[in-house]
Chains A and B, each alone.
Chain A
C-alpha cells in the first residue's frame, strides 16, 4: 500500500530534550516536505526536499533541522524543543514536486512542556 508513515504519532516531552520525528514513504517520490498545523493558522511549511541531499527552508524553519540521506526518509529533528513548537506535524511527499498533489502522513502530535 502506498503510504507516508510518521513516527511517533503522539509525543509528550520536556523543553530542551532532543527529539526526532521520522517520516518514510514507499512511493519513490523525490519531493518531501514537513508542515506544522496550528489552530487558525492552517498548515505552514517547515522544510522541504527536492531529492537526496537537497533540502531547503520553508516559511517557519527556525528551531528545526532535517536531513535527506535516502530518498524514502526525511526525518524532522528538534535539537532543543520549546513549548512554542507544540503542534500537529505532517510529513508529505509527491512525485512531481510542488506541481502535483501531496500524499500526507497521518500526523504527529507533539506536546513540549
Chain B
C-alpha cells in the first residue's frame, strides 16, 4: 500500500497567488515525521520544511507552511505569494519510528510538478 500519496501530478498557478500541494500519508506508528522537498529543473533536492507527529503547532519556514491535520493524515504544503522561482517538482516524504532504534527509512510520494505562470 502506498504510504505517501500526492494526488496532484501537476498544478498551474498564477504568480503571487497562494498554492496548496496535497499530501496524505498512511502509518500506524505514533511517532513519525513529514518532510517536503523541492526539486527544480536543475535536479537538486532542496529541503523545505519538517513536521513531527508530536509537534503541537504547524511548521512554518518563511513563505512555506505545513497544514498538518493528524486525524485526516494529511500534511499539505502551503506556499504563500508564489514566485516564478517556485516552479519545480515537490515531494512529500515520511519517516516512521522514533529514529533512535529501529528502521531509519524515508518514504517519498510520487511528486507534484508546480508551474507558476507570470
Which residues of A does B touch, CB under 8 Å?
Answer: 31, 33, 35, 40-45, 48, 50, 56, 58-59, 88, 90, 92, 96-104, 106-107
Q: A42-B4, A90-B45, A98-B95 are in contact. List 4 more A-B contacts (CB 8 A).
A: A33-B106, A40-B110, A58-B105, A99-B33
Q: When A41-B110, A99-B33, A101-B35 are in contact, do A31 and B104 touch as well, CB less than 8 Å?
A: yes
Tell me the nearest residue of chain B to A106, going by C-beta. Answer: B44
- Among A40, A45, A99, max chain B CB count under 10 A is at A99
A101 & B105 in contact (Cβ 8 Å cutoff): no
Known: A99-B99, A104-B44, A106-B43. A42 touches B106 (CB 8 A): no
Q: With A and B bound together, what is the CA distance between A48 and B109 in angstroms?
A: 18
Residues of A within 8 A of B43 (CB): 88, 106-107
* B108 / chain A contacts, CB cutoff of 8 Å: 35, 42-44
Residues in chain B within 8 A of chain A (CB atoms):
4, 6, 33, 35, 43-47, 50, 52, 91, 93, 95, 97, 99, 103-111
Set B45, B91, B105, B111: member contacting A92, Cβ < 8 A: B45
Which of B4, B6, B47, B103 is A101 in contact with, Cβ under 8 Å? B47
Give 4 closest A-B pairs by Cβ, nearest first.
A101-B47, A104-B45, A42-B108, A43-B108
Determine the chain A residues whose CB is within 8 A of the CB of B99 once the complex forms: 96-99
Report the bound CA distance from A101 to B45 in whole Å.
11
Interface-central residue, A43, A45, A102, by most chain B CB under 10 Å: A43
Residues of A within 8 A of B46 (CB): 104
List the A residue with the shortest CB-CB distance to B97.
A98
Min CB–CB distance B55 → chain A (angstroms): 12
Of the residues B35, B52, B105, contact of A59 by C-beta under 8 Å: B105
CA distance A44 to B97 in the complex (A): 18
Q: List residues of chain B with CB within 8 A of the CB of A31.
A: 104
- Of the residues B33, B91, B97, B104, contact of A42 by C-beta under 8 Å: B91
Give the docked Cα–Cα distance between A31 and B93 (Å). 17
Chain B residues near A33 (CB-CB < 8 A):
106
A97 to B98 Cα, complex, angstroms: 10
Residues in chain B near residue A88, CB distance under 8 A: 43
